[in-house]
Amino acid sequence: MNNKTQKQPSTFNPVSILQFLYKNKLTVHLTLESNLVTWNLYYIDGVLQYANHSLQSLDTLEYYLSAINPGVATKIINVLKTRQNINTLQLIQIIHLLSQKQFINDEDKSHLLKKLTEDALESFLWLNKGEYHWEKLNKTEVLNIKNVVGDNPINISTTVKSLRIRHQLWQKLSPVANSPYQCPVFTSINDAQKKVPQGKLSMRVLTQLSKLVKGDTTIRDIATALKQDELKIIGLLAPYIHHGIVNVQKAKYPYDNLPTVSPMAQTMDNPTTPSSSPQQANIMAQSMGINGNHHLSNSLHGSSTQNKSKIICIDDSPTMLATIKDYLQGDYFEVVTVENPMESLSYLFESKPDLILMDLSMPKINGNRLSQILKSSSMFKNVPIIIVSGNHKMLDAQKIESIGARDFLAKPFSQTQLLNIVNKHLQNSYSAVNK
């Protein structure tokens, strides 16, 4: 990797390429071609700004837009499809256009660019061969990228760590599905409940799904319609696939050109990138309802709380509480939600939690004051408190520490982000106790 511009048809480690660009603080456009698909990564001074691949489309945008605002996602996509020149624009240009027309705000724009970059990187990290080269960006190109992307560079270390966890989950599920672009087909649902007693889908839901799924409906299409993560959809369908109620067909052209995962896939090793342990993948798998047998977790029917980490979530929004509980459901966490902390202070002191997730802005008492009250008790001395809020000013480490909290999670957040911060502080807490 001595030349700034090179073409190299070979077997390679994708993470090594990312690390090389970072260490050498390059300002380049990296292009990688494999199996008729092109990946583009844009770096400024060694920091990744944005990434895409040539098969990302309006459907990809709709998938991530639905997670932000389900009510308007379809309307926006339909409006975009009426524009004559829409197919000539890259997704990054479309997102910039949506922001300019005030269909989305700056926070949504930043979130979409990040998710589309993660989407491109996920398949990029599954690659092991292809042709790649990079070209230095000129000043005009740098200014254009900064104008469109803004001051929101990608934290490549955190992103790769999260994607490696997802990679391990895909490996767990690869016996039943190895790509979000595969097409599930229902063969017979009449005796589904009899053949699959451990299945968690009712006959009504199975019937609705069978009507939704056509011959070319992909796992991602289902995830978009149901506003769920692809891996969770596979986890839901896995027992029915295992018993032949659902058959999973190969991805259709051109998505069959994207890389797939196999159980024996090479791990994405890199000593300078934070690693993800099998335990982290298992925790995330359980929270998504996936276990080693590719079935939904038994925790949906209520499992033993022995050896679970107790997490208390304090927020005045029932929707946010439901989201956190859904994200953390599984055999590794016992999640308790509190909507009115003033009425539940006695319970908080009796519950002996392992970790607390707390909103900052609540009526009657704010997160600052509540955190200070809890930390004044020796009972909560070693209990991590994580502030969960849309108030980005709280990102200041001194402010977080001054109220007795350990960390901050900005809203909106993904399931992966929540699991990462919870796992981080639970592990640190256990290490401190065991010293």
Instruction: Choose the final residue of a domain: 299, 333, 363.
Output: 299
DSSP secondary structure letter of residue 308: P
Pick from 130, 114, 134: nearest CA to 40: 134
pLDDT of residue 374: 81
Are 150 and 194 in the same domain?
no
- Between helix 219-226 and helix 58-68 the angle, nearest 10°, is 30
pLDDT score at 382: 85
Coil/strand/helix, residue 360:
coil
pLDDT for residue 363 = 59
User: Do the domain assignments include residue 2?
Assistant: no
Please report which confidence band the pLDDT of residue 212 belongs to, taking 50, 70 and 90 as the band edges: confident
Residue 431: what pLDDT? 45
Distance between CA 402 and CA 404 in Å, rounded? 6
Q: How far apart are CA 423 and CA 428, in angstroms?
A: 8
* 290/308 same-domain check: no
What's the pLDDT score for residue 26?
96
β-strand pairing of 246-249 with 183-186: antiparallel
pLDDT digits 0-9 by tens, 324-335:
888 887 667 889
Q: What is the reported pLDDT for 269? A: 43
Tens digits of per-residue pLDDT, 252-301?
999 999 999 877 444 444 433 334 444 444 444 444 444 443 332 332 23
What's the mean per-residue pLDDT of the chain? Answer: 80
* Structure-token match 């953390």, residue found: 328
Identify the pLDDT of residue 260: 94
Query: What pLDDT sits at residue 366?
Result: 66
What pLDDT, in 10s, does the model give residues 72-88?
Answer: 787 888 888 888 777 77
Residue 161 has pLDDT above 70, yes or no: yes
Tell me the residue ranges of DSSP E strands in 113-174: 129-136
Predicted local confidence at residue 27, as pLDDT: 97
Residue that wins the pLDDT comparison between 283 and 116: 116
At a CB cut-off of 8 Å and minimum separation 6, what does 98 contact?
A: 76, 104, 109
Residue 365 predicted with pLDDT over 70: no
Q: What is the pLDDT of residue 351?
A: 80
4: pLDDT strictly greater than 80: no
- Name which of 180-194, 208-222, 421-435 the model is least confident about: 421-435
Flag whether 159 is in a domain: no
Residues 251 and 353 in one domain: no
Q: Considering the chain, what percentage of its residues have pLDDT values greater than 90?
A: 31
Answer with the residue of higher pLDDT: 231 or 4. 231
CATH number for the domain harbouring residue 422: 3.40.50.2300
pLDDT of residue 280: 47
* Type of residue found at 9: P
What value does the CA radius of gyration of the chain take, rounded to a whole number of Å?
23
Range of lowest pLDDT (156-160, 231-235, 238-242, 270-274): 270-274
Task: Give kind and range of the element (H or E) at residue 335.
Answer: strand 333-338
Give the pLDDT confidence of 6-32 residue by residue, as tens digits: 454 478 889 999 999 999 999 999 999
**257 and 336, same structural domain?**
no
User: Quick check: 160 pLDDT over 60?
Assistant: yes
Overall number of domains in the chain: 3
| Domain enclosing residue 247, as ranges | 167-299
Question: Is 161 within a domain?
Answer: no
Do residues 181 and 238 touch, judged by C-beta distance below 8 A?
no
User: Looking at residue 295, what is its pLDDT?
Assistant: 35
Residue 135 pLDDT level (bands cut at 50, 70, 90): very high
Same structural domain, 350 and 424: yes
Q: Model's pTM, two decimal places?
A: 0.64
What is the residue-wise DSSP string for 170-220? HHHHTTT-S-TT-EEEE---TTHHHH-TT----HHHHHHHHHH--TT--HH
Q: Residue 355: pLDDT band by 50, 70, 90 thresholds?
A: very high
Distances (CA, A) of 299 to 279, 308, 316, 320: 18, 11, 26, 21
How many residues can be counted in the chain? 435
265 with 357, same domain: the answer is no
Task: Give the span between the Cα atoms of 276 and 371, in whole angstroms.
Answer: 30
Distance CA 81, CA 373 (A): 54
Question: Over 80: is that where the pLDDT of 321 sits?
Answer: yes
On whether residue 309 sits in a domain, the answer given is yes
Pick the last residue of a domain from 237, 271, 299: 299
Look at residue 217 in the predicted model and tell me its pLDDT: 95
Asked whether residue 402 is domain-assigned, the answer is yes
32-63 pLDDT, tens per residue?
999 999 999 999 999 999 999 999 999 999 88
Higher pLDDT, 228 or 335: 335
Please check whether residue 95 is in contact with residue 109, taking contact to mean a CB–CB distance below 8 angstroms.
yes
Residues 346 and 235 in one domain: no
Based on the fold, state whether residues 376 and 397 are members of the same structural domain. Answer: yes
Last residue of a domain, one of 109, 128, 154: 154
What is residue 3's predicted lDDT score, i.e. its pLDDT?
45
115-132 mean pLDDT? 94
Assess whether 100 and 208 both reside in one domain: no
How far is it, in rounded angstroms, from Cα 417 to Cα 396? 18
Query: Quick check: 59 and 91 in contact, CB under 8 A?
Result: no
Average pLDDT over residues 376-385: 83
Q: Do 369 and 416 fall within a single domain?
A: yes
Is residue 1 a part of any domain in this protein? no
Please give the structure tokens belonging to residue 162. Answer: 């999260």
Predicted pLDDT of residue 284 = 45
Given CA atoms 271, 273, 279, 282 in this order, what sign does their dihedral have?
A: negative
Q: Considering the domain boundaries, does residue 66 fall inside one?
A: yes
Does a structural domain hold residue 234? yes
Q: How confident is the model at residue 307 (pLDDT cuts 50, 70, 90)?
A: low
Distance, CA of 157 to CA of 155 (rounded, Å): 6
Q: Are residues 148 and 68 in the same domain?
A: yes
**Residues 234, 312 within the same domain:** no
Q: What is the H or E stretch that residue 249 is in?
A: strand 246-249
Q: Comparing 57-66, 293-302, 338-347, 367-376, which segment has the lowest mean pLDDT?
A: 293-302
Structure tokens at 250: 């190969």
pLDDT at 428: 65
